[in-house]
Structure formats: structure tokens, C-alpha cells
Amino acid sequence: MLIAFNKPMNVLSQFTDEGKWPGLKRWIDVAGVYAAGRLDRDSEGLLILTDDGRMQARLTDPARRTPKTYLAQVEGRPQPSALEALRGGVTLKDGATRPAEVAAVDAPDWLWPRDPPVRMRKTVPDAWLRLTITEGRNRQVRRMCAHVGLPVLRLVRWQVGDWTLDGLAPGTWQAI
């Protein structure tokens, strides 16, 4: 079984609650499925769950290079040099990243409001990036963007492999 879940903000990518943060069991009442990969508590979007260990390994194995596409609202205006640095791969504390596909995009008009809302500063502009990476290090997109001077304000995973969030409201899931 494969499940696509639109993980809301401040939800953990595990079934058990931890402190004040809820786990997936509040939304998904299906026995024997586990997340294939993770989304940080403060990130939103597509989380794939499966009961198939081989599928879980295939989706998370760095050697497979499963593409994951994110929409990132960043603080500041992306300069061409920052986008080129991301496209070439940047060196983080845990080593060089693989090159990312990245483009500045318009704010998505289909995106739901975030709860809590993004903190905005009147004197600092923001912009949206669409990034596709083929690895999945801890907080990787956030760290890559910060490395080039574009701190992430909001991060939404749109796609994993061929699966997208299309048609999934926050906190809802469907079998795929």
C-alpha cells in the first residue's frame, strides 16, 4: 500500500506524539504503514507512507536519487549568483550537496494559508523558489538556501518521484 499525505505544519513525520507536537496517528488510521523519508516538523507537504519495506528503501536510498521538489518562500530577493550556486551544489558542514534544479517562481496562488502565518517584515522582501533535489539530508533545502543568503520562511514539498500534492488538502491523504 502507498499513501500520499499532505502533512500540515507542526506535525511530526512519525506516528507517535512527542511533547506538544502531534504525530501522524491523528490523521492516518492505517495499520502497518511508515513514512518513506521525513519532513521536518516546521515543513509542510507531501509525505509518502508505505507498508512495503522495499519501496520505502527505494524511495529513501540516496543512490536512487529520487527527485523531491519543494516550494520555498525565502527572505530576500534571489540574485542570479545565488541560484547558480544552488544549481552547482553548495558545500555545507556535512559536505557538498548534489546540484539542485532551482528557479525563482511566482507565489503559488493555490497554496493554503499557513497556521501559524509566516512572519513577515515590512522592510525585507520575500520571494519563492522551486527546488528539486535528489538527496535528503537533514534540513537540506533550508541549509542550502541559508548558505546562499536566502533564509527559508516556509517550505512545502510538492513532489516525490512521480507523486504530487495535487488535489490533497492539508491533513488529508489518499491511497496511490
Residue 90 DSSP one-character state: -
- Residues 81-111 pLDDT 10s: 999 999 999 999 999 999 999 999 999 999 9
Q: Mean per-residue pLDDT for 61-86?
A: 95
- Residues 25-67 pLDDT 10s: 999 999 999 999 999 999 999 999 999 999 999 998 888 999 9
What are the residues facing 47 on neighbouring strands?
5
pLDDT at 151 over 90: yes
Instruction: Please choose, from the candidates 132, 78, 55, the residue with its C-alpha nearest in 3D space to the C-alpha of residue 101.
Output: 132
- For the whole prediction, is pTM greater than 0.85? yes
The confidence score (pLDDT) of residue 19 equals 93
How many Å is the Cα radius of gyration of the chain? 16
From the candidates 40, 51, 52, 126, give the one annotated as an active-site residue.
40
Give all domains of the chain, ordered by start, each with its CATH number. Answer: 1-64+162-176 (3.30.70.580), 67-160 (3.30.70.1560)
How far is residue 32 from each of residues 14, 29, 82, 97, 140, measured CA to CA in Å?
Answer: 12, 10, 42, 33, 28
Query: Catalytic annotation on 42?
Result: no
Q: Is the peptide bond before 116 cis (omega within 30 degrees of 0)?
A: yes
Helix (H, G, I), strand (E, B) or coil at 101: strand
pLDDT at 9 over 90: yes
Sequence-distant (≥ 6) Cβ neighbours of residue 136 within 8 angstroms: 37, 38, 60, 62, 68
The confidence score (pLDDT) of residue 116 equals 85
- Residue 130 and residue 105 in contact, taking contact as beta carbons nearer than 8 Å: yes
